[in-house]
Amino acid sequence: MARLEVRLLGDPVLRTEAEPVESVDAELRRLAADMFETMYAEEGVGLAAPQVGISKRLIVIDAQSEDVKPFALVNPEVVESSEDTDRGEEGCLSVPGVKELVERPLRVTVEATDLEGRSVRMEAEGLLGRILQHEVDHLDGILFFDRVSPLKRKMLLKKWEKVRPARAGS
Ligand code: ZN
C-alpha cells in the first residue's frame, strides 16, 4: 500500500466530474487500499478518488462507528433523499483548516457496487449519511462549501487563503 498525495482546493481534478468505474479489478482494489491508508494518515473519515488525483467514481469511508465497518463504494449514487434535513459541521481533507455547518438531507439511500463487484444498497443517516453525501458530491466536482450561503462561502474562502498549506499555490 502507498500513501497518496491529497489534492487541495485549486486543483482542477476536484472540480471535474469523475468517470464511472468500468471494471472492479485488482487495480481498483489496490487504489481503494491506498485511499484507506491515505485517509487514515490524514485522520479523515472519508475520501473520494478525485481527492488523490484519480478522476474515478470510487469512495472510501470509515465513520468510526462500531456498527458499520470501513467500506469502499464503486459508482455510488444517491437514489433517495429524505425531505428532513440536518445541519452538521463538515471539513474536507482537500480544504484543511476550515469547517462549516452544512445542511443536508437527514437520510439517504445509496446504490453502488462493492470491491467484489456485488451490487449494494445502503440506507444511512446521521454522521454516516452526511459522510456519504459529502463523498458522492466529490465525484460530481462539488465541495462542501458549495452547499452553504454565499456569505458563509465567502468568509470560508477568505479564511482558507490564510490557512492554506504553501503547496496549494504551486
Ligand atoms: Zn471532502
Number of structural domains in the chain: 1
Please give the distance, rounded to the nearest whole angstrom, from the Cα atom of residue 100 to the centre of ligand 1: 12
Which of 90, 103, 123, 135 is catalytic? The answer is 135
Summarised one tens digit per residue, pLDDT across range 116-126 is 999 999 999 99
In the residue annotation, 22 being an active-site residue is answered as no
**Contact status, residue 20 vs residue 145, Cβ threshold 8 Å:** no
Greatest C-alpha distance within the chain: 45
Contact 79/111 with Cβ under 8 angstroms?
yes
CATH number (domain holding residue 71): 3.90.45.10
Is residue 44 a part of any domain in this protein?
yes
Range of the domain at 32: 12-164
Distance 134 CA to ligand 1 centre (A): 6
Between the CA of 26 and the centroid of ligand 1 the distance, in Å, is 25
pLDDT digit string (tens) for 60-98?
Answer: 999 998 888 999 999 999 999 999 999 999 999 999 999
* 4 found inside a domain: no
109: its cell numbers: 439511500
Amino acid at 72: A
Residue 2 lies in a domain: no
Grid cell at residue 87: 445541519
